[in-house]
């Protein structure tokens, strides 16, 4: 078991739901990323997703695109992101997943990127644009390094493909609860219950539901149908509003704590 699997095992024992928070690494700078990670650990976040800044983030909506640009402007290169993960590891055991585009792995070398991520203390990779059909060498390297490959399932994924993806799953399956790119929404999909039931028919790996969850009420509602929820854009938007202000870390952590309380109480 790596830290992701251990955390979900602990949540299952406690009959609790998990909270996964996404932020863009380096937004507004890498020291803020380190401080936010430690604060999130203190307020009950179960897994931290760090978006590795990329120049062409096609799966992301405007809020996360702008965060990626701020990260690039702050010098958040993949090696510096991994240095930040290593700094977090010196003070925290929070499970960390890198949300990354395949170009960055390819540019460094897939074997080298995975090995360096594992040494830094990363627990899993969510490679947005790598389909499982083309992931044989990647999965072998991930297994060798003890990292979890996180895969996406969408509302439009046919059942035979759900079965195929489920065979590759480790850590958790990320169910994208609506079509389109990342972003906050005023409503949640009414197909979550049916789709999570369909996924469970093919896998016992925990399901995390994300895309569009923006507040505590939505978090509480979605958590009824999954082992965890993922909140990204709503948190990234909080970071964007505060920038480099002194209250950035405590204010964003306080918002995240409302989500943790909503799903764990």
User: Which residue matches tokens 């039931």?
Assistant: 197
Rounded distance between C-alpha atoms, residue 53 and residue 50, angstroms: 9
CA end-to-end span of the chain: 27
Which residues are designated catalytic? 49, 60
* Cα Rg of the chain, angstroms: 17
User: Which residue matches tokens 């764990």?
Assistant: 264
Using CA atoms, how far residue 10 sits from 1, 5, 46, 206, 227, in Å, is 12, 9, 10, 12, 12
**Torsion sign, CA atoms 237, 238, 242, 243:** negative
Q: What is the DSSP letter of 246?
A: T
Rounded distance between C-alpha atoms, residue 22 and residue 236, angstroms: 8
């Amino acid at each position: 078991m790596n830290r992701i699997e251990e955390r979900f095992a602990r949540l299952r024992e406690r009959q609790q739901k998990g909270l996964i928070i996404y932020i863009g690494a380096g937004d507004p700078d890498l020291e803020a990323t380190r401080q936010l990670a430690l604060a999130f650990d203190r307020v009950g976040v179960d897994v931290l997703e760090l978006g590795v800044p990329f120049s062409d983030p096609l799966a992301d909506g405007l809020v996360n695109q702008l965060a990626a640009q701020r990260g690039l402007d702050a010098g958040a290169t993949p090696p510096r992101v991994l240095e930040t993960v290593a700094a977090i590891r010196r003070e925290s055991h929070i499970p960390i997943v890198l949300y990354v585009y395949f170009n960055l792995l390819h540019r460094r070398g897939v074997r080298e990127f995975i090995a360096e991520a594992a040494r830094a203390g990363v627990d899993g990779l969510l490679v947005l644009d790598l389909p499982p059909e083309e992931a044989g060498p990647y999965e072998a390297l991930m297994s060798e390094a003890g990292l979890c490959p996180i895969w996406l399932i969408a509302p439009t994924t046919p059942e035979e493909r759900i079965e195929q993806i489920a065979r590759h799953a480790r850590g958790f399956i990320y169910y994208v609860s609506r079509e389109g790119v990342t972003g906050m929404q005023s409503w949640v999909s009414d197909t979550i219950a049916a789709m999570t039931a369909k996924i469970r028919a093919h896998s016992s790996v925990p399901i995390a539901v994300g895309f569009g969850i923006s507040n505590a009420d939505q978090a509480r509602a979605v958590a009824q149908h999954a082992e965890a929820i993922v909140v990204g854009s709503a948190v990234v938007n909080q970071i964007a509003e505060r920038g480099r202000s002194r209250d950035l870390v405590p204010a964003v952590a306080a918002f995240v704590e409302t989500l943790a309380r909503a799903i764990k109480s």
